[in-house]
């Protein structure tokens, strides 16, 4: 029974498909012209599709270049800002450092003036004491006044000389230390800002190159797809033309 059913189904299927087979084997002039017209229509359609694809490719490539350009310009602007800010901060720090050195020199001059005043006050009355002792005529008082005068002059010389120089050098060094504390970090920050700016500049160049590569990739990809569409339509048209002969 199963065998009979299979034979009946096969016969029915063959009968149903027989018009399609006949149609596929149709070699009439009308059928050939219809296929030729269809092939030409496919070709015309493919030309329009390729034109649209090329326009889309050009637009996409332009977008890639514009995005890369904007990104590159933003990076270049940041590079300029970083370098400008770092340089400005260094200049401010340099001015403050100069003020610190000037303050140190001023303090050194003050130390010298104080030393000189102190030395002058020590020996201010020594000559008068000697003169008084000579006027009295007592040799022991004269010797004592001269000894005190000699001691005070030596002390005054030390105060206005060696000690004053030490205090002046210390004041200048303090000013220089303060200047270094202010300026040295600013110099390091400036170099860091310049280095970061150089990195941004390099990134800007890379962004431009990436945009160019992306634009080229888009163009090549779209050209490959367009060529496939054109080749398929051309093959269909050639087949239709060959059958129409």
Condensed to tens digits (0 to 9), the pLDDT of residues 51-74 reads: 888 888 888 888 888 998 898 899
Q: Is residue 39 part of a domain?
A: no
In this prediction, residue 48 carries a pLDDT of 78
Helices 126-136, 139-158: crossing angle, 10 deg rounding: 170
Contact 47, 231 (CB under 8 A): no
Q: Is residue 49 part of a domain?
A: yes
CA atoms within 13 A on the CB side of 88: 6
Q: Which DSSP string corresponds to the chain?
A: -HHHHHHHHHHHHHHHHHHHHHHHT---HHHHHHHHHHHHHHHHHHHHHHHHHHHHHHHHHHHHHHHHHHHHHHHHHHHHHHHHHHHHHHHHHHHHHHHHHHHHHHHHHHHHHHHHHHHHHHSTTHHHHHHHHHHHT-HHHHHHHHHHHHHHHHHHHHIIIIIHHHHHHHHHHHHHHHHHHHHHHHHHHHHHHHHHHHHHHHHHHHHHHHHHHHHHHHHHHHHHHHHHHHHHHHHHHHHHHHHH-
Q: Is residue 92 part of a domain?
A: yes
Distance CA 129, CA 243 (A): 144
Q: Is residue 15 part of a domain?
A: no
Condensed to tens digits (0 to 9), the pLDDT of residues 180-226 reads: 999 999 999 889 988 888 888 888 888 888 888 888 888 888 888 88
Contacts of 49 (CB under 8 A, 6+ apart): 226, 229
Q: Is residue 40 part of a domain?
A: no
- Number of domains present in the structure of the chain: 1
Mean pLDDT of the chain: 80
Condensed to tens digits (0 to 9), the pLDDT of residues 155-185 reads: 889 988 899 999 999 999 999 999 999 999 9
Q: Is residue 137 part of a domain?
A: yes
**Percent share of the chain, pLDDT over 70:** 84
Q: What is the pTM of this model?
A: 0.58
In this prediction, residue 147 carries a pLDDT of 86
Contact 98, 179 (CB under 8 A): yes
In this prediction, residue 168 carries a pLDDT of 93
101: containing domain: 45-244
Mean pLDDT is highest, among 10-19, 117-126, 143-152, 159-168, for: 159-168
Q: Is residue 5 part of a domain?
A: no
Q: Is residue 91 part of a domain?
A: yes
Burial 52-61, CB ≥16 within 10 A → b, else e: ebeeebeebb
């Amino acid at each position: 029974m199963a065998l009979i059913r299979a034979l009946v189904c096969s016969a029915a299927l063959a009968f149903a498909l027989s018009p399609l087979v006949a149609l596929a084997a149709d070699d009439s002039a009308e059928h050939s012209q219809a296929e030729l017209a269809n092939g030409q229509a496919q070709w015309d359609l493919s030309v329009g599709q390729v034109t649209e694809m090329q326009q889309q490719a050009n637009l996409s490539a332009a977008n890639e270049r514009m995005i890369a350009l904007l990104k590159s310009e933003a990076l270049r602007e940041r590079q300029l800002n970083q370098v400008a800010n770092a340089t400005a901060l260094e200049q401010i720090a340099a001015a403050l450092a100069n003020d610190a050195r000037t303050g140190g020199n001023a303090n050194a001059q003050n130390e010298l003036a104080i030393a000189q005043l102190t030395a002058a006050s020590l020996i201010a009355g020594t000559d008068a004491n000697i003169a008084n002792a000579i006027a009295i005529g007592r040799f022991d008082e004269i010797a004592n006044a001269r000894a005190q005068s000699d001691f005070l002059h030596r002390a005054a010389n030390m105060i206005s000389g060696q000690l004053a120089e030490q205090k002046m050098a210390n004041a200048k060094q303090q000013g220089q230390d303060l200047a270094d504390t202010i300026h040295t970090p600013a110099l390091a920050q400036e170099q860091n800002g310049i280095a970061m700016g150089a990195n941004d500049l390099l990134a800007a160049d890379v962004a431009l190159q990436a945009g160019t590569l992306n634009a080229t990739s888009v163009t090549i990809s779209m050209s490959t797809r367009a060529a496939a569409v054109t080749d398929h339509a051309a093959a269909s048209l050639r087949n239709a033309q060959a059958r129409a002969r």
